[in-house]
Structure 1
């Protein structure tokens, strides 16, 4: 890959050298302004062409913003970011323990608030930056590798983890089921490892105390072995199931907990779209951690995710804004007799960390279509 390294040059040479070292150590080509040969174009055009030629961009932000260019009204680094952000991945690294000038502070805030970027963390030394860049590029490669296995079979494995959809028109609190199967399919945990108290304790602690939380801290948690699976569950709330093949099944509540009138579903007549995305994101983040906990050597290289919503067939679908505008009324569905198939996606395992928001949206949109078509 060609990787463009974007940063202020003057006074930042050790950090740029560290980034170059990371890129070349992984056998990629570093594209850097100081390497450009003499050419008729301006340095501004040469750098933007360098960005366009690259597969991804490493953006390194320190204390100084740099000189503003008259044609763009931003610094060269800022212009390179604007050129790259809508067309290729951008890894962002921010220097810590320094005092930034006002323009750089504003620029850092803009970049960190950009939802589609890859913010990979802060650094203080060139050595820390080199390690961060190395890790980010390596994980990106894993996340975008071609799957060497039967993704259809992997999807079926994730679907098999799901319980059947509740039928009928009985009103119930809506829940999201998210199943994640890892492949190539194989046993990851021995029976004794699955039953080890330390494993249940780690799953419990992660779900209860690490954001995004899966468990409600006001409720107790029951832990047990159900068949060949470890289960942690809160009464009427979240449930975590893990089997010997590393298959994960999560039950995540979708009710709106805000008090609003006396009608059901926690004060809403609908499933709230943002709640679905939030719970999907939380579940995916938990699964990414759990795979690292049980399979640190990455025997499982790919995953398939399946999702299903179990709720009253009369329950509608709304965005949060729509629900806030009319909190005490709603459009109720008429229900249907056919069972909707689960929504599935497959991807390299590293995508659970790199592309969690995209995966959440890829699952949410078909779920929304199913609910609105009832």
Structure 2
């Protein structure tokens, strides 16, 4: 396994050597800036490419932030962190008992906020502490990967299948819906059959979905039911939440309708619905999978439009609310999926803004033309 070591270099040699020793002791390949050959690429490109090619990134944070006179204003270590965290292959280690520079403390706060308990506790005081902690962490990572393979193609199939297909000519009186499916892996039972039928648990879910952070309304009747081993909770507005024993979810969120006689899909309203759906999905995973057995997620999104309404920004609708050019028919090519389709489970929270922006762009391409 290729393991990239990310940290400041000057004055931190003792700790980097401890990390290298830990990696060597487990017979893995070390990827480090010290070994990069001369190249026509910049040092920044070379380091970020090293992160991309590595299967695991060990991030070591001490008291110094490092050089930050870069185009992004971030230190090389901070940029490497941002690159690695997107792919979910990061293990950070934070030094204790040191007086951190303000920029470094902000960096540590960002890392620990992302972890939300996933990596917290991986701290060290001495080089020997660091070597021990890195050895343990890599061993645990290998064990988890060996015993719990993630079948991404199967996750994609499930995510696609969860998105409902509307029948041609269907008339919905409740307006458009955002459909978002979230499927976790590796595949396993997250909710026991007895739990998914428990009325107290169902009542708690209804309360959560009807709270301020949810997308149900307490003013409408809510109907929970079991269907093929999955729990479905639905309202007359079309709002729906579905979860099965594997933790796979479908969230159907009403999209606020445009004003005026012509009612196209308003981009900002889709974005708001997407953001709300991801918040709820993340909270549901935390509720049912507190020990984080699910490490990766695939998300798929589509819009139930009840026909063709067109797509506009709020500004475009305000300037011309009673006329719009729309396509006569939209070809159906299935729900929108990211490329690659899977992300780290924590991306639902740490990368939510990026997920919303990317899924929104994919839906815009489909519905605007």
TM-score (norm 1): 0.60
* Equivalent in the alignment of 1:224: 224
Equivalent residues in 2 for 1:302-321 (5 A)?
Answer: 305-318=299-312
Consecutive unaligned residues in structure 1, runs of 5 or more: none
Shift of 1:309: 0.7
SS state of the match for residue 315, structure 1?
coil
Q: How many residues align?
A: 337
CA distance in 1, matches of 2:37, 2:329: 69
For each residue in 1:80-125, what CA deviation from the matched residue of structure 2 results, as whole angstroms up to 9, or x when unmatched?
54578669968567779976445546x739x959xxxx94367694
* Equivalent in the alignment of 1:126: 124
Q: Establish whether residue 215 from structure 1 lines up as the match of residue 215 from structure 2.
A: yes
Q: Establish whether residue 340 from structure 1 lines up as the match of residue 335 from structure 2.
A: no
CA distance in 1, matches of 2:214, 2:70: 45
SS state of the match for residue 289, structure 2?
helix
SS state of the match for residue 176, structure 1?
strand
Check conservation: 2:190, 2:289, Cα contact below 8 A: no
Correspondence for 2:368 among 363, 369, 372: 372
> CA 1:159–1:350 in structure 2 vs 1: closer, same or farther (change >3 Å)?
closer
* Equivalent in the alignment of 1:236: 237
* Equivalent in the alignment of 1:263: 260
Shift of 1:126: 1.7
> CA 1:50–1:345 in structure 2 vs 1: closer, same or farther (change >3 Å)?
closer
Q: Which moved more, 1:55-64 or 1:183-192?
A: 183-192
CA distance in 1, matches of 2:308, 2:215: 27
* Equivalent in the alignment of 2:107: 108
Check conservation: 2:301, 2:335, Cα contact below 8 A: yes
CA distance in 2, matches of 1:221, 1:13: 64
Check conservation: 1:171, 1:311, Cα contact below 8 A: no
Equivalent residues in 2 for 1:147-166 (5 A)?
Answer: 148=151, 151=153, 155-165=156-166
Q: Establish whether residue 292 from structure 1 lines up as the match of residue 289 from structure 2.
A: yes
For each residue in 1:134-189, what CA deviation from the matched residue of structure 2 results, as whole angstroms up to 9, or x when unmatched?
39x949x96xx98558x3x6555444433332646766422111234567878765
Shift of 1:244: 4.4
> CA 1:274–1:27 in structure 2 vs 1: closer, same or farther (change >3 Å)?
farther
CA distance in 1, matches of 2:288, 2:97: 33
SS state of the match for residue 366, structure 2?
helix
* Equivalent in the alignment of 1:281: 278
> CA 1:243–1:170 in structure 2 vs 1: closer, same or farther (change >3 Å)?
closer
Correspondence for 1:329 among 320, 336, 339: 320
Check conservation: 1:63, 1:99, Cα contact below 8 A: yes
CA distance in 2, matches of 1:247, 1:28: 35
TM-score (norm 2): 0.61
